[in-house]
Amino acid sequence: MMTFEIRIEGFAGTDEALAMQEPAARALCPVAEHNGPCEVPWAFTLADNHDLVLGIYTTRQRAAELTAGVQQATGHPTALTEATPGHFDDLAEQYRIEHPST
């Protein structure tokens, strides 16, 4: 398990990028209001070039699967990378708290 970034690219500006948060989130967690934690902890941020960056904490294989789903849901190119040190550090801790038996 590790932290990854799914970079969602190709936005003309901040508003357009922010509008894609909901479709990307539903690719990770189809039911917005559910009981219990999400299978994969996630969070968003914006890059300086208006890319939407989605941090996730999961396995490499699951990250690749989720990246494909995010690209399909948003219709924008995506790129999967290991998370930049210091970005999304709280996701691993969130996973440990929400999934104490794993």
pLDDT tens for 27-68 read 988 777 777 777 889 999 998 888 999 999 999 999 999 999
pTM for the complete prediction? 0.88
pLDDT number for residue 82? 95
- Residue 100 — very low, low, confident or very high, per pLDDT cuts 50/70/90? confident
Residues of the chain above pLDDT 90, percent: 58
C-beta of residue 91 within 8 angstroms of C-beta of residue 56: yes
C-beta of residue 1 within 8 angstroms of C-beta of residue 56: no
How many CB atoms are located within 10 Å of the residue 89 CB? 13
Helix (H, G, I), strand (E, B) or coil at 90: helix
Q: Report d(CA 6, CA 42) in Å as an integer.
A: 10
What number is the average pLDDT over the span 21-26?
A: 92
pLDDT number for residue 99? 76
| Domain 2-29+38-98 belongs in CATH node 1.20.120.1460 | no
pLDDT number for residue 102? 61
